[in-house]
Amino acid sequence: MSSVQFDHVTVIKKSNVYFGGACISHTVQFEDGTKKTLGVILPTEQPLTFETHVPERMEIISGECRVKIADSAESELFRAGQSFYVPGNSMFHIEADEVLDYVCHLEG
């Protein structure tokens, strides 16, 4: 069960903006030196494509989205409380049906 908040963290004030604002995130740094991004994806008419460098776990905090990972044929629905995994040096396509809050765990 994920907490509703991150405690004892550092937050970078400047946001990361993708696709003209359809995806906005803030970088969160933890005491052990690891980083995650906390973000929002807005509903879009076309899926957004993100490339990964390190492996990522995308945890859905609220909302729901359809996701295709790499070149999989089928999209899968993910809802609040669920996560999906994307390998490093890969990509995923994501389409939010409503405002989506997520945490991106950089697993590399």
The footprint of a copy of itself (CB under 8 A) covers 2-15, 17, 20-22, 24, 26, 28-29, 38, 40, 42, 61-62, 99, 101, 103
Identify the DSSP state of 74: S
CB of 56 to a copy of itself, least distance (A): 17
Cα 55 from Cα 104, distance rounded (Å): 10
Question: Smallest distance from the beta carbon of 101 to a copy of itself, in angstroms?
Answer: 5
Closest CB 59 distance from a copy of itself, rounded Å:
9
Nearer to a copy of itself, 48 or 91 (CB): 48
Residue 98's SS3 state is: coil
Name the nearest CA neighbour of 34 among 16, 5, 13, 54. 54
Report the residue number, 88 or 98, with the smaller CB distance to a copy of itself. 98
**DSSP bridge pairs for 30:** none
Q: Quick one: 31 or 71, whose CB is closer to a copy of itself?
A: 31
Distance from C-alpha of 102 to C-alpha of 108, rounded to nearest angstrom:
18
